[in-house]
């Protein structure tokens, strides 16, 4: 079977990671946000109104000899941060490193919300959650990973995101050099279409708490959105920390001494270093900094976004065992 390796290049503050993908014939390269928290592959395109395009690369199906319009199909997606996009569907060849699929559904944007328009480096998303939450109607489409899975050496992909440095997404194999110790696997509940798992505890500094809580592994979310009790316990250890409604979350003095945060999943404990949690300056005068850990209130589960994932090597395994599973390792 095949396998492939592509870079995950961070934007400023590691707010998201972008990966070059080739679409069509001759290949058109777009930098996409590989997102394990959604299941649509959508791109800025020749059909995106020019007033909504600010520097993004655009896929033009009329310039690809292998593109085919999928008549009667439309898509419309909205995300937890309030952003959204919608449009129509083509099929075309998509290459992710050495892994290709000849007739991948490429969802062409005819409308994108302002936060996408203003993000000039992000040319679209490549969804890696489960196909059941793909938004194409009337016929739901399958993700790139679902489409190539049977050709991969192993039915899995892995994330090795890094802090302020390019990381790697691998497809079809586990790079034994990319992690230390053992990979601990936990079962995935994909009933809501996400890579949802149970964390079995956390620790702040050297105080550990055996709290069990459900969360999703979401490469497309920047921060670690965790239970309120975790936030209360963590920020009580940060002098000068406060919940700022105007700034949209917990902030603290940028020179505060903040603790590491450890989450336990399976037999493995992953420690997010304090430096990852001093996420970014929260205001112009640069005195208050925004926390990389924030509450998951009213979502119904936690979101292990990039702040949490970049401390780990993660295996998104959809088929080795009867049920999908997530493997976690230190690195
Ligand atoms: C408000 C929309 C809710 C959250 C829900 N949508 C979702 O769950 C979508 C699929 N996933 C997401 O909104 C989130 C997971 C939220 S858990 C409820 N992940 C993907 C997101 N970070 C992708 C992104 C990347 C860059 C810029 C913006 C957005 C729905 O459609 O009902």
Determine the Cα–Cα distance for residues 225 and 307; give it in Å rounded to an integer.
Answer: 9
Q: Which residues does ligand 1 sit against, CB inside 6 Å?
A: 16, 33, 35, 37-38, 78-81, 83, 125, 133, 218, 220-221, 299, 303
Beta-sheet strand order (sheet of 261-265)? 207-209, 201-204, 261-265, 268-272
Q: What is the pLDDT of residue 280?
A: 93
Helix (H, G, I), strand (E, B) or coil at 231: helix
Residue with tokens 């336990």: 264
CA of 154 to the centre of ligand 1 (A): 27
Could you tell me the pLDDT band of residue 286, with boundaries at 50, 70 and 90? confident
- Is 298 designated active site? no
CA of 125 to the centre of ligand 1 (A): 11
- Residue 37 CA, closest ligand 1 atom number: 19
Taking CA atoms only, the protein residue closest to ligand 1 atom 15 is: 37
Does pLDDT of 256 surpass 80? yes
Taking CA atoms only, the protein residue closest to ligand 1 atom 9 is: 79
CA of 63 to the centre of ligand 1 (A): 31
Contact 97, 29 (CB under 8 A): no
Could you tell me the pLDDT band of residue 264, with boundaries at 50, 70 and 90? very high
112-143 pLDDT, tens per residue? 999 999 999 999 999 999 999 999 999 999 99
Mean pLDDT for the stretch of residues 280-291:
92
139-198 pLDDT, tens per residue? 999 999 999 999 999 999 999 999 999 999 999 999 999 999 999 999 999 999 999 999
- Is 35 designated active site? yes
Burial readout 286-325 (b: 16 or more C-beta within 10 A, e: otherwise): eebbbbbbbbbeeeebbbbbbbbbbbbbbbbbbeeeeebb
Q: Write the DSSP string, 237-248.
A: TSTT-EEETTTT
- Residue 116 CA, closest ligand 1 atom number: 27
pTM exceeding the 0.95 threshold for the entire prediction: yes
Q: What is the pLDDT of residue 319?
A: 83
Residue with tokens 């390269």: 29
Taking CA atoms only, the protein residue closest to ligand 1 atom 7 is: 79
Q: Which helix (H) or strand (E) holds 272?
A: strand 268-272
Which of 10, 77, 80 gets mutated to test ligand 1 (max ligand atoms within 8 A of its CB)?
A: 80
Contact 157, 66 (CB under 8 A): no
Q: Is the ipTM of this complex over 0.85?
A: yes
Comparing CA positions, the residue from 183, 24, 172 lying closest to residue 98 is 172
């Amino acid at each position: 079977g095949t396998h492939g390796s592509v870079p995950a290049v961070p934007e400023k503050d590691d707010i998201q990671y972008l990966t070059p993908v080739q679409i069509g014939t001759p290949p058109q390269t777009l930098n996409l946000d590989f997102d394990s928290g959604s299941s649509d592959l959508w791109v800025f395109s020749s059909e995106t109104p020019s007033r909504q395009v600010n520097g993004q690369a655009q896929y033009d199906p009329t310039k690809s000899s292998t593109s085919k319009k999928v008549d009667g199909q439309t898509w419309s997606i909205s995300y937890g941060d309030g952003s959204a996009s919608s449009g129509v569907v083509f099929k075309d060849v998509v290459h992710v490193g050495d892994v290709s699929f000849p007739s991948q559904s490429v969802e062409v944007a005819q409308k994108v919300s302002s936060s996408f328009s203003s993000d000039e480096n992000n040319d679209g998303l490549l969804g890696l959650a489960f196909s059941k939450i793909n938004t194409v109607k009337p016929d739901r489409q399958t993700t790139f990973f679902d489409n190539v899975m049977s050709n991969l050496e192993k039915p899995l992909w892995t994330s090795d995101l890094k802090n302020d440095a390019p990381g790697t997404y691998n497809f079809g194999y586990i790079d034994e050099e990319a992690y230390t110790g053992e990979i601990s696997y936990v079962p995935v509940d994909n009933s809501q279409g996400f890579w949802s798992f149970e964390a079995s505890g956390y620790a702040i500094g050297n105080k550990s708490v055996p709290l069990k809580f459900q969360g999703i592994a979401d490469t497309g979310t920047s921060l670690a959105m965790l239970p309120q009790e975790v936030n209360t316990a963590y920020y009580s250890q940060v002098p000068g920390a406060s919940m700022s409604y105007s700034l949209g979350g917990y902030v603290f003095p940028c020179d505060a001494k903040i603790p590491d945060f450890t989450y336990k999943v399976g037999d493995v404990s992953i420690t997010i270093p304090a430096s990852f949690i001093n996420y970014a300056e929260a205001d112009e005068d640069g005195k208050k900094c925004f926390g990389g850990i924030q509450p998951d209130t009213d979502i119904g589960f936690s979101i292990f976004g990039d702040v949490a994932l970049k401390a780990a090597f993660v295996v998104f395994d959809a088929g080795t065992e009867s049920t999908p599973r997530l493997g976690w390792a230190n690195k």
